[in-house]
Amino acid sequence: MTEKFDKGLAIRRKVMGDEFVDRAFANATEFTEDLQQYITEVCWGGIWGRQGLAKRDRSLINLAMLTALNRSQELRGHVRGAINNGVTVEEIKEVMLQTAVYCGAPAAQEGFRIAAEVLEEMNVR
C-alpha cells in the first residue's frame, strides 16, 4: 500500500466509521478489491486529504452532488459521514432544500427521504 492509501484509510475511517470501512473491504471480491483500493487512495487520500476545504464542507458538497446524481446508497453513507464531520441536521436540511431549486423536487424528495432515514437510524434530531 502507498502513503496516500494509508492517509486515505485513516480519513475514510474517521468520516465513514470503522464499521462502514471494514464492511466495504470485507465485501470486496477479487473482482472489486482494486476499486476499494482506488477509492481509498484517490478519493479519500488524494481529494479528502487535501487542505483546501474542511471535511465538513466536503461533506456538504457531497450531499448536494449525490442528491443531484440520485446516488441513494452513497448518499446514505455520506449523511452519516456529514454528521461525523460536525454537520448539523439543520445544515443537511438546507442542502436538501437547495437541491430542490437546482436539481428539481424529485431529487430533493429522495434526498430528504434518505437523509431522514439515516438520521432516524442514528437517532440524531
Over 90: is that where the pLDDT of 125 sits? no
CB 53 within 8 A of CB 89: no
- 59-85: pLDDT as tens digits: 999 999 999 999 999 999 999 999 999
Distances (CA, A) of 19 to 2, 48, 57, 67, 94: 22, 19, 23, 24, 28
Write out the residue limits of the CATH 1.20.1290.10 domain(s) in the chain.
Answer: 53-125
Q: How far apart are CA 32 and CA 6, in angstroms?
A: 19
**Class of the CATH-defined domain 53-125:** mainly alpha
What's the rounded Cα separation, in Å, for the pair 42 and 9?
A: 10
The predicted structure's pLDDT at residue 122: 96
